[in-house]
Structure 1
Amino acid sequence: MSDFNQLKELEHTTYPIYEGYDLGLTYTPVGSKFKVWAPTAQQVHIALYNDAGVYDQEGNVQEHSGGQEFLMSRDDQGVWSIELEGDWNKYYYMYRLEWADNTIHYAADPYATGVSANGQRTAIIDLAQTNPDGWELDVGPTLKRPTDAILYELHVRDFSMDPHFNTGKKDLFAAQGRFEAFTYTGLKDTEGNSIGLDHLLELGITHVHLLPVADFHTVNDFAELDTEYNWGYDPQHYNVPEGSYSSNPADPETRIRELKLLVQSLHTAGIGVIMDVVYNHTYSVEQGPFEPVVPGYYYRTDEQGQLTNGSGVGNEVATERPMVRKYIKDSLRYWAEEYHIDGFRFDLMGLIDTPTVVQLTQELRSEVRSDLLIYGEPWTGGESPQPLLTLKGTQRDKGFAVFNDNYRSAIKGDSDGTGSGFATGAEHQEEQVLKGAFGAIHDFTAQPSETVNYVTAHDNLNLWDKILTVRKLREHCRFPQWEQGKPQDGRTPEQAVAEADPYWELDENNLLEDETVRKSLLANGMVLTSQGIPFIHAGDELLRSKCGDHNSYRSSDVVNAIRWDNKARFRPVFDYYQGLIALRRSHPAFRMDHRELVEQHMEVLQSSGHVVAFALRHHANGDAWNHIVVIYNGSDTEQTIALPAESDRWHVVVDAHGAGNETRYEVVGHRVTVSRWSMMVLYDQEEPARVSFVTEQDQANRQAENELEDSDEGTDQEIAGTAIALTDVQLGKDSEVAPFRTIELIYERADRQYTGWNVWVWGTGHRDGHVEFRDLDDGRAVARIQVAPDIQRIGYIVRLNHWDAKDVEADRYIDIDPNQSVMQVLIHSGREEYLLLVNDNRAG
């Protein structure tokens, strides 16, 4: 490419900005309008062709002259445009750009929505003709809250390239590795197990997160299907489906229609579609979608004008510049509207400046769809000069979520080595596990809906291979050393995989006793029972192995394809995952989306000795189960755990040998034994859920209660009676109920400084959480706490502001006197004990 240094020196702030939504092609049968933002070009022509051009042996078109060329006109916003009469459907076009130094070259439209094979020319298509039958009625599942989602990360090709996918269905051969494979239902293995789309439906996940399906650079659309493989993180045309996943990449309409059919098929099954998007870099600068049109604008550079490399692959897109930011927002809007995409996962979101992420989140949610899922990787691949990187913590109260690598590492250890985590044998991980289980609200989130919890993804060792690596079993399994998709010892990938045995130690008749199986179930079981948005890697439920290949982005299908015969082979493992997912989907206690709910209902029971146990109390988040106990045992011995004293009969629904909603057996008493490397979930009783008073929807009710508590009129008995009447109205009850009790917590500090101090209470049976000290009487502060009539004991912590400090580190408890409607309790700063006052003598 010619030297455009004089153009690159132009300050980016001087570039004009275009705010319209019509860049690219606007097609109608009677005319087509073309618009391209190219403010530094001296002249631009539209070149039209009636074919895709002449391809060379590498699958590229080198010559673009010879088309019909029409001069375009420029406006003061840097947009060149032209409107051509007539029906140009199925033609192709390029922009012919001329620069100040008389250099001329041809470029595809950066806003292309259809392209020829390998993206060599932009296609003119009638998008309405690409819609499947019934497309106007297609809609994805609606999310009440982001934490209702269960994400399943899947590569289009991995899904169907296994030969077992084609068992008994010869017509499936042509669909393998393509979008079309997702449209087949009723597929079974030789033993009658559902595979393919029906497997996803049976598993119970809510959303399929597809690795990039937008057109990428490195796979030749004309190549044989089994010769080239890539994950797709090398973008070429951002608004066009990938051609190699299409049954006919030479037809621009086919790939669009087939991706829409994939979306429609998943939506019909009640499964949403998340699209992995890669706006942080392009595969090439010179051959990418931007540089040929506006040289020097779309990429970050250092002070010397050199490309910066925060992505680790040679360039990073300058998302903070107005027209780059606009391009990203326009592209996302297009996918959500035209393809009915249900959410977006951002590759290396850290490189996208935070204002851009905030804006696109707000605009997509307000203008396109309110429940779009938006999340991404809060890290970079290298050093970047961008000062507003979207790292962990920047998402607080911004409406989007980020991957929680803190929790990931706490659970499994490092990504590719022998380093261990809680589920793989490490010590001293209990505190980090608790932070993850609580939705990272004591780590980096404002709400649990901001964390995506996971153990493994497409990057690095998958879960099974990671655990084998920690256990130093790779040699026993005869795993090769991999380098750029091939074994280092010279064997073919097919030979190496055939000679490896990832399951050499398994007793397949007793799967759930195996150490590696148990550790894998524990790891993802922690993800599925923690607060936040759970994310699992496709095939974990089938004990997927890649034979130790930790970076399989260019490896062959024999490494990457999901092996569908493993479903019958490891059916108890699949059933366990299915049960955990069903448990989560059935019980909102695991899906709290607000910090207040988590703080109100979650209580730590144990956090030591390779054990983490917590309770979800008092119908958490409106759950039908009263108290739920979750226990993680990461030790190599069984552990006996104390259960909450409120109940003496517990229903076990998850243990080392099974998971689900149904009671497996009951535990009587206040202790339970949990098997090594396993988890347990128990609940005490099931009954209609009580109303929670700590949700946004109940702000008015909470305000009414606070006003009652602050009122000087009436006795405490009257206030308590009014509170229970309010609760009955919300529950639709008419029966008489014993009135609530009131505890007056009287707090005395020697320094008489009470500003910022408040009390956090739990176990009240009414309204747990934050309670203000509202009265000052003779140098003391008073907090009034409402307690349900059946409660015998409550817990409390006196704290400064929002956990800036605690008056006493230990949790404290008050035993309720059933004979008193109003109890007065005096606590002195720094002392754990309290004094029960016999009468209303606050001076005493």
Structure 2
Amino acid sequence: MTVLEPIDAYPTQRIAGFPVRAGRSLPFGATRVPTNGNNTGINFSVFSNHATAMTLVLYKDGADEPMAELPFPESFKIGGVWSMTVFGLDPESLEYGYRADGPGPPFHPANVLADPYARLTTGCGEHRHRSRVPLDDFDWEDDRPPRIRHEDLVIYELHVRGFTAGADVSAPGTYAGLVEKIPYLVELGVNCVELMPVFEFDETDNINTGQNYWGYSPLGFFSPKASYAATGRHHMQVDEFKHLVKELHKAGIEVLLDVVFNHTGEGDERGPSISFKGLDNSTYYMLTPDGHHYNFSGTGNTLNCNHPVVRGFVLDCLRYWASEFHVDGFRFDLAAILGRGRGGELLHNPPLLESLAYDPVLRDCKLIAEAWDAAGLYQVGAFPDYCRWSEWNGRYRDTVRRFVKGDLGVTGELATRMLGSPDMYARRGTSATVNFVTCHDGFTLRDLVSYDHKHNEANGEHNRDGDSDNHSWNCGHEGETDDPAVLATRARQVRNALLILLSSWGVPMILAGDEAGRTQHGNNNAYCHDGPLTWFDWDLAAANAPLIRFVRRAIAFRRAHPVLRRGAPGGVSWHGVHAWAPDWSPHCRLLAVMFDGGGDDCVYFAANTHWEEHTLDLPAPPRGLAWHLFADTGAAPPMDAHEPGAEPPLADQGRVEIGPRSVLVLVTHEREQS
């Protein structure tokens, strides 16, 4: 029998002592190629439209100096792409970078630049930002994404390090540590985690505190953050992150990544040249006519996202995370920038946003936009959606905050927000709105009811940073207190906000720790603190167990009642102190609504932000059913919320008392036979 030998790559010449041949232009990055025997080949491909010379720099693992530098022959260049296959390399002990030369700054051939397409980097240690080649041998064990419908999601936004840095787990602050906390997430009832940035970034690039905790300054877009991996010192962060995703999927939890494609960690022309800037500054960044960096991101530079090359980079990156890491979707930081043209102008049909919406690999991925930027562009409700994009609904956040606080003239708008903001999303449906009251950026929920003003002095910017318009109320005392009356009001206000959120149409998002009363002591911009101020304090989980129980029951109640997630086929009716008579006047602080889902899926919701109690006349429930009490935030735990399905019937089916600054939720069950 004739055995066909594989056709393998082979060297054609030597450079710097290494056998090489002209490489393949695509894919970009470093890719293993098939060879005979142990003569391992790696194809290196890098783009630079303006470089006049390119050199591949090779290091042994952890070495201070290069083991070789291989200039690309001109014949190894096609268009603006330099490519070369190098043989005889050990990928597991190899680090690499590039030197690019060109017509003046920012080309500096003395700099060794990171590969923009590097799928593994050394992180920010002694030999920072060096690129590596990962192994591709992870066993996914037939992993299947949960494929949860948008309207059924309950998103939980968390920081990978902060969630377990203070936890009793084997590897605190890591992907592996987060795996150990999956049972907590399952018990809480969330079915989707939104991870704050996990692309490689420089944790030390803050001039005031020396810490960049949040990670919204990416440098390695294809590389999982090395220091978030217990195995990072062994360069196994790719496998560790994949294991996290696989375990979350086993638990029925989807994974969204918070991604930053509006800027990079290189800053403006005064910042470091780490990768993009030194390879092709004028392609990757938006530049003014005199060569400075446009700063629509508020961080020094703005990626030129709708340039065809950069658009291809973004698509390649997201396809990689979706296909190789099995992530279920992405939340885009300052996504309004992605709709800007080269000079910052707003594009009518942004090529990048359209490409993402219709990309075949990303077809099943959830796409969520933070529909504003740092230069004043606010597109909430008007983001180019292509029937695919959802949005962080900043108007929902502000309306709920103002209503819970007790502001006048907000009741009518709250009604609109609770119905999925149809004034903004009627065409797109309720799945287009991601509802939230708090997120990483701003006060925690506990601080929202404990501080009238931000307290960011520890950030080193004289309390000038962070938003001053928080719609917060301290309930009578600024900051920590032992006043029982103030504490009781705060506890009610926290429950009020959470119950409104989980009773609204749309996709609810909860900030990790809010269910346990996490505080940042009034700091509403804690991006630069990696410590107890920003970590999840797991002692609070025990101390505030009643609040966690309340949230768990509220999530379970939402899950048990489709009428709170997918609309009300039987209709929505508005009420006030008197049934069927809502009060839309500016001075009203009471909102009541009945969601009739047909059959026995009927829910009555009432919120009172007045400082006095009211007696509410109830609408009659559907025939044969009776009102039962699910939640009353004015009641002391554990009577503030009952287990779904075990709600006690109201003694008086015609009326109910709602306390001051309280929310109550009723549900129908079959009437008990007397």
Work out the CA distance in 2 between the residues paired with 1:329 and 1:176: 33
* Percentage of matched positions with identical amino acids: 28
TM-score (norm 2): 0.80
* Structure 1 residues 227 and 259: alpha-carbon distance in aligned structure 2, compared to 1, 3 A threshold: farther
Given the alignment, which residue of 170, 175, 195 partners 1:179?
A: 175
Query: What is the CA-CA distance between 1:272 and the residue it aligns to?
Result: 1.5
Structure possessing the higher radius of gyration over alpha carbons: 1
The CA distance in 1 between the partners of 2:74 and 2:116, in whole Å, is 16
Matches within 5 A, 1:279-290: 279-285=261-267, 286-290=272-276
Question: 2:279 aligns to what SS in structure 1?
Answer: coil
2:459 is the alignment partner of 1:484: yes
Cα distance per residue 1:203-235 (max 9 Å; x no partner): 000111111111012349xxxxx9955110111
**Residue in 2 aligned with 1:588?**
562
- Indicate yes or no: 2:353 matched with 1:358: yes
| Unaligned residue ranges in structure 2 (runs of 5+) | 1-23, 36-40, 340-348, 464-477, 576-581, 634-639
Q: What corresponds to 2:69 in structure 1? A: 67
Deviation, structure 1 residue 481: 5.8
The CA deviation at 1:577 is 0.3
Instruction: Provide, for residues 120-148 of structure 1, a one-character-per-residue CA deviation record: whole Å limited to 9, x for no partner.
Output: 4544434323x2xx4242233221x2111
Contact 2:295 2:301 in 1 (8 A): yes
Please name the residue that 2:249 is paired with.
267
Q: Deviations over 1:9-68 (max 9, x none)?
A: xxxxxxxxxx986111221463222221212222323232223442xxxxxxxx658435
227 and 36 in structure 1: CA distance in 2 versus 1, 3 angstrom threshold? closer
**Equivalent residue runs for 1:274-313 within 5 Å:** 274-285=256-267, 286-313=272-299
Residues 87 and 506 (structure 1), Cα distance of their counterparts in 2 relative to 1, 3 Å cut: farther
Change (3 A) 1:503 1:159: farther
Q: 1:505 aligns with which of 451, 459, 483?
A: 483
**1:439 maps to what in 2?**
420
The one of 466, 477, 497 aligned to 1:523: 497
Secondary structure, counterpart of 1:560 in structure 2: coil
Q: In 1, Cα distance between the equivalents of 2:601 and 2:231?
A: 56
In structure 2, distance between residues paired with 1:533 and 1:357? 25
The aligned counterpart of 1:127 is 135
1:756-771 counterparts in 2 under 5 A? Answer: none
After TM superposition, the structure 1 = structure 2 runs for residues 394-543 of structure 1, keeping only pairs within 5 Å, are 394-396=383-385, 398-412=387-401, 421-444=402-425, 446=427, 447-470=429-452, 482-484=457-459, 502=480, 504-506=482-484, 514-543=488-517
Match of 1:193 in 2: none
Contact 2:621 2:668 in 1 (8 A): no
Partner residue of 2:667 out of 675, 679, 683: 683
Aligned letter for 1:422? F
Letter in 2 for 1:231: W
CA distance, structure 2, for counterparts of residue 148 and residue 443 of structure 1: 20
Shift of 1:356: 4.4
What does residue 534 of structure 2 align with? 560
Task: Report if aligned partners of 1:481, 1:487 keep a CA contact under 8 Å in 2.
Answer: yes
Question: Does 2:131 match 1:142?
Answer: no
Would the alpha carbon gap of residues 443 and 640 (structure 1) be closer, same or farther in structure 2, given more than 3 Å must change? farther
Aligned to 2:472: none
- Please say if residues 444 and 520 of structure 2, whose CA atoms lie closer than 8 Å, have aligned partners that are also in contact: yes
Contact persistence 1:449–1:533 (CA under 8 A): yes
Q: Which runs of 5+ in 1 are unaligned?
A: 1-18, 55-62, 185-195, 221-225, 413-420, 475-479, 489-499, 688-844
* 3-state secondary structure, aligned to 1:128: coil
Find 1:636's aligned residue among 600, 611, 624: 611
Partner of 2:630: 653
Give the 5 Å matches for 1:558-637. Answer: 558-592=532-566, 597=567, 601-605=571-575, 606-608=582-584, 609-619=588-598, 625-637=600-612
SS of the aligned residue for 2:55 comes to strand
Give matches, 1:234-383, under 5 Å: 234-252=217-235, 254-285=236-267, 286-353=272-339, 355-356=350-351, 358-364=353-359, 366-370=360-364, 372-382=365-375
Larger CA deviation: 395-404 vs 203-212: 395-404
Q: Which secondary structure does the structure 2 equivalent of 1:93 belong to? A: strand
Match for 1:674 among 647, 658, 661? 658
Q: Is the 8 A contact 1:44 1:96 kept in 2?
A: yes
What letter matches 2:372 in structure 1?
A: W
Q: Which has the higher mean CA deviation after the structures are superposed, 609-618 or 518-527? A: 609-618
Range 68-77 or range 107-116, more displaced: 68-77
CA contact (8 A) 1:219 1:244 kept: no
- The size of the alignment, in residue pairs, is 588
Q: Is the 8 A contact 1:454 1:524 kept in 2?
A: no
Deviations 1:442-478 (A, max 9, x none): 23553111111001111111111121124x8x9xxxx
Deviation at 1:77, TM superposition (A): 4.0
8 A Cα contact 1:395 1:402, kept in partner: no
Question: CA–CA distance in 2 between the matches of 1:44 and 1:538?
Answer: 46
Name 1:213's counterpart in structure 2: 198
Asked whether the equivalents of residues 626 and 686 of structure 1 are also in contact (C-alpha less than 8 Å), the reply is no
Relative contact order (C-alpha < 8 Å, sep 6+): which is higher? 2
Cα deviation for residue 644 of structure 1 reads 2.5
The more displaced of 116-125 and 298-307 is 116-125
Indicate the SS of the match to 2:397: helix
Q: 1:263·1:341 contact (CA, 8 Å) conserved in 2? A: yes
Letter in 2 for 1:410: T
Query: What is the CA RMSD across the aligned residues, in angstroms?
Result: 3.0
Match for 1:651: what amino acid?
H
Match for 1:109 among 109, 115, 137? 115
Q: 1:210 to 1:128 in 2, by over 3 A?
A: same
SS of equivalent residue, structure 2 residue 649: strand
Mark the CA change 1:71 to 1:603 in structure 2 (over 3 Å): closer, same or farther.
farther
Helix, strand or coil at the partner of 1:565: helix
Contact kept, 8 Å, 1:229 with 1:557, in 2: the verdict is no
Partner of residue 98, structure 2 = 95
List, as ranges, runs of 4+ consecutive aligned residues in structure 1 with deviation greater than 6 Å: 485-488
Q: CA deviation at 1:76?
A: 5.0
Name the CA distance, whole Å, in 1 between partners of 2:123 and 2:351: 32
Q: Identify which of 198, 206, 209 aligns with 2:183.
A: 198
**Secondary structure at 1:291's aligned position in 2?**
helix
Matched-pair contact (CA < 8 Å) for 1:228–1:554: yes
| CA–CA separation in structure 2 for the residues paired with 1:459 and 1:311 | 15
Distance 1:50 1:556 in 2: 32
What TM-score, normalized to structure 1?
Answer: 0.65
Bigger mean CA deviation after superposition, 226-235 or 630-639: 226-235
Q: Is the 8 A contact 1:583 1:661 kept in 2?
A: yes
Q: Which residue of 1 aligns with 2:6?
A: none
- How far has the Cα of 1:383 moved from its partner? 5.1
- Structure 1 453/682 Cα, relative in aligned 2: closer, same or farther at 3 Å? same
Q: Structure 1 residue 331: deviation in Å?
A: 0.5
Give the Cα–Cα distance (whole angstroms) in 1 for the partners of residues 264 and 312 of structure 2. 17
Cα distance change, pair 678–127 in 1 and its aligned pair in 2 (3 A): farther
CA distance in 2, matches of 1:86, 1:603: 73
**Residues 227 and 442 (structure 1), Cα distance of their counterparts in 2 relative to 1, 3 Å cut:** closer
CA displacement 1:637-693 (0-9 Å, x = unmatched): 222233334547312222221144224322343332222222222233469xxxxxx
Question: Which digits, 9 at most, give the CA deviation of each residue in 1:578-624, with x for residues without a partner?
Answer: 011001122211112xxxx56873332335421112222242xxxx6
Q: In the alignment, what sits opposite 1:761? A: none
Q: What does residue 725 of structure 1 align with?
A: none
Name the CA shift for 1:117/1:399 in 2 (closer, same or farther; >3 Å).
closer
The residue type equivalent to 1:669 in the other structure is Q
1:576 is aligned with what amino acid? F
Question: How big is the shift at 1:201?
Answer: 1.3
Q: How big is the shift at 1:176?
A: 1.2
Q: Is the 8 A contact 1:213 1:232 kept in 2?
A: yes
**Distance verdict in 2 for CA 1:394–1:369, change over 3 Å:** closer
* Alpha carbons 1:351, 1:390 under 8 Å: kept: no
